[in-house]
Structure 1
Amino acid sequence: MKGDDRHLWEEATQDEYNVINGNETWEIVDLPPGKKAIGSGWVFKIKFKADGTIEWYKARIVAKGYSQCPGIDYTEVFAPTFRPATLRLILALAAIEDMHLRSVDVTSAFPDGDLEEEIYMLQPEGFHQGGPNKVLHLCKSLYGLKQAAHQWNKKLHAALVEMGFKRIEADHSVYIYSNGVVKIIVPIYVDDITFASKSNAAIDKAVKDLCTCFKCCDLGSTKFLQGVGIGQDKDKKLITLHQHQFILDMLKCYGMSDCHPVQTPMAPGTVLSKTMGPENSDEVEFMQNVPYLSAVGSLQYLATMTHPDIAYTVSYLAHFSSNPGPKHWAAVKHLLCYCKGTLEHKLHFNGQVDSCEFTTYSDAAHGDCVDTGRSTAGYVTTLAGGAIGWASKLQPFVTISTTEAEYISAVEAGKEIHWMRNILGEFVYPVKQALPLHIDNQSAITVSKNPEHHGHMKQLDLCFFWLREAVNEGVITPHYIPLLTCSPNLYLSPKSNIAETEWVFWFNF
């Protein structure tokens, strides 16, 4: 190791080895005849706080799981993680109910999982013990193994069930504890565990019980989770989400730190196509040195977590990932300039509302893809004054009328409404009234109620008429809203009449 911080990395590797070795994760043995040991390695990462300062140096011993044989070294690999919409919904409920938020990090999550298969691994570099033929027989799971996340999730699930928690069906990475008086909601992302409850004492007890099962680090009040900064003002019953540091790091990574902010995610009048790929050797060479896929991936994460205003643009730019050209890259840089101008913007969840009622909007741009003729559809769901769930993407097939495109978009929004209704019910916030779905197309609303406009809709599969059943059963009520007219390009703009920047939805069509 080189560098002024090498002693910190050495301490991190020694701490990691001591923890893993002390957890009886492996035993040193001779490799049995006919067996093959998979490789091992080190992964190093600096973990940052929400303001960009260093929290700690992190080193992990990992198995080179890419050499594992399916059916022999592993079978099941699935492990759930919460949807971003689930996290935002829980935070909105926390604002409404004035809940306390607490974060806990499991220090060594995967090595706590039980391993069911017989696996041997080479000893990690720098910590070899015994003769040259000595290997590690893994007794427990380890980072890098194909089944590691699955085994850890099983172990954590068993511990939480023992503590009295119940896993909800709408999102298998969320648990709830309720005894009629105290309620605790626990979203889990691998080893990052968050507790939300009105009772601080109940959270304290849950954290204490969890620490008896696993080695945990109590991080205190939730300030930073999965790259998202979280602020809570209990006096105003307000929770805010932002990715200020993520945007700064992204701009620095792509050499855009000194760019000038622009007002729109995409330049007005921009129309891109797959035919705009590199046209000559100079453009091919230029694009080979452009991190197009990486930049779009970073922007996609930003759009998924806290920036619905760029969802349409990111989805649009992702269409050209297979063969991007200079014009596509110019559009990416324009979007990065827009992100520079939204550094201080936040998603707000205002808890000063009367109920947990939410509102949904859907829209479609008929045939706007010049390459395929498909329509782009989008929806957004809001609760407590902030966006909970949103999407903007091409529809899976070509629609032959505006009515059809708008109706298909409404079906996708209706599915989100049903999911929101289900998960709120499991959180013990039952929704009994019909939920509004705002659509800007009268024909689509008509079709969602009755089998009209047969000539426009007769080619649709029967599954798409699920929305009509939901409307007739009084679960969803479509409403006409004239503000949405052409495109699902969802923007956010800051209010100018308040001291702190707040985002409210408006539709630029």
Structure 2
Amino acid sequence: MQDMELRRSKRARRFALPDFYVYLQESEHDILGKDDPENFKQAIMGEDNERWLAAMKSELESMRKNSVWELKVLPQGCKPIGCKWVYTTKMDLKGAIDRYKARLVAKGYTQQEGIDYTETFSPVSTKDSLRVIMALVAHFDLHLYQMDVKTAFLDGHLKEEIYMQQPEGFVQRAQENMVCKLNKSLYGLKQASRQWYMRFDEVIKTYGFTENVLDSCIYVKISGRHYVLLVLYVDDILLASTNLTLLHDVKVFLSKHFEMTKLGEASYVLGIEIRRDRKRGLLGLSQKRYIEKILKRFNMMECVGGDVPINKGDKFIQEQAPKTDQEKLEMADKPYASLVGSLMYAQVCTRPDLAFPLSVLGRFQSNSGQAHWVARKKIMRYLQRTKDFKIVYKRNESLELVSYVDADFVGCVDDLKSTSGFVFLFGGAAVS
């Protein structure tokens, strides 16, 4: 039989881009925070070593209280996973240092599926749900409070038998050959987020809360004429209620079952500033500080402001990509995918006005020779002028859901495709 030549694909290979970032979690939105230590050695050798040491001891004390592990001799045939310290300087609303946080993270990437874990999926509340609830808070003048679960993932119970090396810098004397047998989930484990959600869901339902059928991280509890809404986003909790007594009872219940930080009236959550004027019946959502960080990161703090991100009739094509050395130099510090990814968190949370221009930018590849620079500059200049932008919900606005849907006609010159879009208004402002 004659040997046949193997057919090889002629499609160009596309590799993952190192400059692509999407900031969709609270832990990621501080893109220009204080330079934090990257490892244990840097933490103990730096100028803030005493603060970092105190933070690490506090983390280990929380684990001791939660009985997260116990030291055991490693069974024959088992291989322990590693762990590392992760350091974060938490900032307050004004950008000042709030606290130093050290977190012990398991190296979950070494876990084996089917042995160390099975299911990993864990839901979080959507930003659409958050905005709908904010509209309800403004319309019905609800009390709005926030809480934070200190060591959320440590509350999840493990079903699998997992062994971990002792944390760097805190290996027990005369027990150096022993390892940590995990009793509860730990940050970094593949199943950690899921186990925490399952634990929280189980506990909150025992207190009479009912899960929303469309968003499994939204709960409601009804007591007579009053009710309380609970929004869960990993370890951040928002509580909205018609009655302060009912709200207080829920906070006491949560504090009995989890180690909580009581932050009081909601003002800053997931990088979103909540500004409220109850006398006038107004509630605004803003990300001014985050927008300023983006402008600073991409060297656009001093740029001239623009009126719109994209003008009506603008056509963006690949031919407008940087060609001369001067043009390429001007955009060298504004990597395409990184800039678009940074803007996505703002668009998802509080900036619906960025949805269309970002969808336009999403059409283009991020290779240096094809990155679209005209639209990038326009959007950044528009952000400079509109960094104080707020979604504002009003008490006297109707709760009728209003929608608008539209599409351009062959808006992309390169591929002759159209871009469609929609917006839903509720309580006087956009919710989706």
> Contact 2:309–2:378 at 8 Å: present in 1 too?
yes
> Contact 1:287–1:325 at 8 Å: present in 2 too?
no
TM alignment of 1:96-495, pairs within 5 A: 96-129=139-172, 130-266=174-310, 270-274=314-318, 290-325=334-369, 328-353=372-397, 355-389=398-432
Distance 1:185 1:381 in 2: 22
Distance 2:245 2:94 in 1: 29
CA deviations on 1:295-319 (whole Å, 9 max, x unpaired) are 1111111111111111111121122
Equivalent residue number for residue 496 of structure 1: none
Distance 2:325 2:278 in 1: 59
Distance 1:380 1:285 in 2: 37
Equivalent residue number for residue 21 of structure 1: 64
> Contact 1:104–1:192 at 8 Å: present in 2 too?
yes
> Contact 1:287–1:324 at 8 Å: present in 2 too?
no
Aligned-pair CA distance for 1:257: 1.7
Distance 1:273 1:30 in 2: 63
Deviates more, 1:6-15 or 1:242-251: 6-15
Distance 1:288 1:116 in 2: 49
Distance 1:262 1:155 in 2: 48
Aligned-pair CA distance for 1:23: 1.2
Distance 1:55 1:224 in 2: 13
- Shift of the 139–193 alpha-carbon distance from structure 1 to 2, 3 Å rule, reads same
Percent of residue pairs identical? 38
Distance 1:325 1:385 in 2: 43
Distance 1:191 1:220 in 2: 16
- Shift of the 148–15 alpha-carbon distance from structure 1 to 2, 3 Å rule, reads same
> Contact 1:36–1:120 at 8 Å: present in 2 too?
yes
Distance 2:119 2:319 in 1: 42
Aligned-pair CA distance for 1:188: 0.5
For 1:113, give the aligned amino acid: G
> Across the two proteins, how many residue pairs are aligned to each other?
388
- Shift of the 68–287 alpha-carbon distance from structure 1 to 2, 3 Å rule, reads farther
More relative contact order, 1 or 2 (CA 8 Å, 6+ apart): 2
Aligned-pair CA distance for 1:267: 5.7
Aligned-pair CA distance for 1:292: 2.1
Equivalent residue number for residue 79 of structure 1: 122
Equivalent residue number for residue 66 of structure 1: 109
Aligned-pair CA distance for 1:127: 1.0
For 1:153, give the aligned amino acid: Y
Distance 1:371 1:206 in 2: 56
For 2:196, give the aligned amino acid: W
> Contact 2:218–2:231 at 8 Å: present in 1 too?
yes
Distance 2:46 2:300 in 1: 27
- Shift of the 32–279 alpha-carbon distance from structure 1 to 2, 3 Å rule, reads farther
For 1:296, give the aligned amino acid: V
> Contact 2:318–2:372 at 8 Å: present in 1 too?
no
> Contact 2:211–2:219 at 8 Å: present in 1 too?
yes
For 2:359, give the aligned amino acid: S
Aligned-pair CA distance for 1:111: 0.7
CA deviations on 1:277-301 (whole Å, 9 max, x unpaired) are 6769998898776432221111111
> Contact 2:83–2:104 at 8 Å: present in 1 too?
yes
CA deviations on 1:377-406 (whole Å, 9 max, x unpaired) are 1111111211111xxxxxxxxxxxxxxxxx
Aligned-pair CA distance for 1:371: 3.3
CA deviations on 1:428-465 (whole Å, 9 max, x unpaired) are xxxxxxxxxxxxxxxxxxxxxxxxxxxxxxxxxxxxxx
Aligned-pair CA distance for 1:31: 1.5
Q: Over aligned residues, Cα RMSD in angstroms?
A: 2.1
Distance 1:343 1:288 in 2: 24
- Shift of the 117–23 alpha-carbon distance from structure 1 to 2, 3 Å rule, reads same
Aligned-pair CA distance for 1:333: 3.0
> Contact 1:265–1:334 at 8 Å: present in 2 too?
yes
The structure with the greater share of residues assigned to helix is 1
Residue 81 of structure 2, aligned match among 38, 62, 65: 38
Distance 1:222 1:185 in 2: 14
Aligned-pair CA distance for 1:211: 0.5
For 1:160, give the aligned amino acid: I
- Shift of the 201–5 alpha-carbon distance from structure 1 to 2, 3 Å rule, reads same
Equivalent residue number for residue 433 of structure 1: none
Distance 1:92 1:365 in 2: 30
> Contact 1:260–1:337 at 8 Å: present in 2 too?
yes
Which ranges in structure 2 are unaligned for 5 or more consecutive residues?
1-42
For 1:255, give the aligned amino acid: N
- Shift of the 233–286 alpha-carbon distance from structure 1 to 2, 3 Å rule, reads closer
- Shift of the 342–278 alpha-carbon distance from structure 1 to 2, 3 Å rule, reads closer
> Contact 1:77–1:146 at 8 Å: present in 2 too?
yes
- Shift of the 300–321 alpha-carbon distance from structure 1 to 2, 3 Å rule, reads farther
Residue 47 of structure 1, aligned match among 86, 90, 98: 90
> Contact 2:365–2:371 at 8 Å: present in 1 too?
no
Distance 1:181 1:10 in 2: 50
TM-score, normalised relative to structure 1 = 0.72
- Shift of the 138–286 alpha-carbon distance from structure 1 to 2, 3 Å rule, reads farther
CA deviations on 1:402-432 (whole Å, 9 max, x unpaired) are xxxxxxxxxxxxxxxxxxxxxxxxxxxxxxx
> Contact 2:320–2:374 at 8 Å: present in 1 too?
no
Distance 2:162 2:373 in 1: 46
> Contact 1:287–1:326 at 8 Å: present in 2 too?
no
> Contact 1:267–1:334 at 8 Å: present in 2 too?
no
Distance 1:190 1:337 in 2: 34
Equivalent residue number for residue 31 of structure 2: none
Q: SS in structure 2 opposite 1:349?
A: strand
Which ranges in structure 1 are unaligned for 5 or more consecutive residues?
390-509
> Contact 1:43–1:60 at 8 Å: present in 2 too?
yes
Distance 2:195 2:371 in 1: 46
Q: SS in structure 2 opposite 1:194?
A: strand
